[in-house]
Copies of this chain bind each other. A is one copy, B any other.
Amino acid sequence: MSENPPRTVFFISDGTGITAETLGHSLLAQFPNSGLRQVRIPFVDDLDKALDAARQIREARAADGVRPIVFSTLVNPHPESGLRDVDALFVDLFEQFIVPLEAELGQRSTHTVGRFHGIAESQDYKARIEAINFAMSHDDGISTDGELADADVILVGVSRSGKTPTSLYLAMQFGVKAANYPLIPEDFERNKLPGELHRHRGKLFGLTIAPERLSQIRQERRPNSRYAAIENCRFEIEAAQKLMRRENIPWLDSTTKSIEEISATILQAVRLNKPAY
């Protein structure tokens, strides 16, 4: 629940609004529980639409009783619309960032030239889509040796320790190909890794989690099962940590970490610095 008065945040763009929204989101993620209501106003590409956006912001100001926050990537905010004069914290991402980057790179932005489409054809974008498909088809250990050779990183850990969302985030955000290998009772009994993982041990990264949290997550999936029972979760986590220590696999505890944090730590650990853009 919010401790602050309700407040509206606007994402305004002459295009899809994705840049405004992505930037706005990663900044606002710094202020959890700030009780913001978000409104997207994409495709503001003429004076009428700018006038309408200005009207919506003024109405939110009046209704909330506090200033809205506006993230804008408008190339042309149509000064005569009054959009820049509303009573709001107006964050002009175009002026503050895109203009200096254009000067530095000696290149106009796709936003300026109205060709956001370019992204779908870039190498970086294709790598991301390929990595997403890779993560989807190599979730839960369904991988051959040849496919593991193709992975940038292989996440190991017990079921529900956070491998799947982390591998999808690594793919979507960084274009990193992450495969999963779930540790199961057979691995604990052997107390060593299967041969195919041994051949790729430089790519392994382990995730562990507090048994109480694991039990809670598994309860939601299979209530009152042996799978979710706290004793079983304790046993699996202990066995998994013992195995990871024995095999010298770097690992972290995901209990109170976000997928963003987990992913950053993994990228550092396996030293993945891919070329970008």
Bound together, the chains give a CA A28 to CA B123 distance in angstroms of 13
Task: Please name all residues of chain B whose beta carbon is closer than 8 Å to the beta carbon of A273 when the two chains form the complex.
Answer: 37-40
Identical copies in the complex: 2
Task: Please name all residues of chain B whose beta carbon is closer than 8 Å to the beta carbon of A164 when the two chains form the complex.
Answer: 132-133, 136
Asked whether A117 is an interface residue with its Cβ less than 8 Å from the other chain, the reply is yes
Q: Are B268 and A30 neighbours in the complex by a CB distance under 8 Å?
A: no
Asked whether A222 is an interface residue with its Cβ less than 8 Å from the other chain, the reply is no
User: Counting chain B CB atoms within 10 Å of each CB, which of A36, A264, A274 scores highest?
Assistant: A264
Minimum CB distance partner of A26 in chain B:
B22
Task: Please name all residues of chain B whose beta carbon is closer than 8 Å to the beta carbon of A136 when the two chains form the complex.
Answer: 139, 164, 168
How many residues of A are in contact with the other chain, CB < 8 A? 80
Known: A105-B34, A258-B120. A17 touches B264 (CB 8 A): yes
Q: Which of A23-56 contact B (CB under 8 A)?
A: 23, 25-40, 42
Other 15 A-B pairs with CB < 8 A, given A18-B261, A89-B100: A19-B30, A22-B26, A25-B173, A27-B97, A28-B101, A32-B118, A32-B277, A33-B277, A37-B275, A39-B273, A40-B267, A67-B104, A117-B256, A120-B256, A120-B257
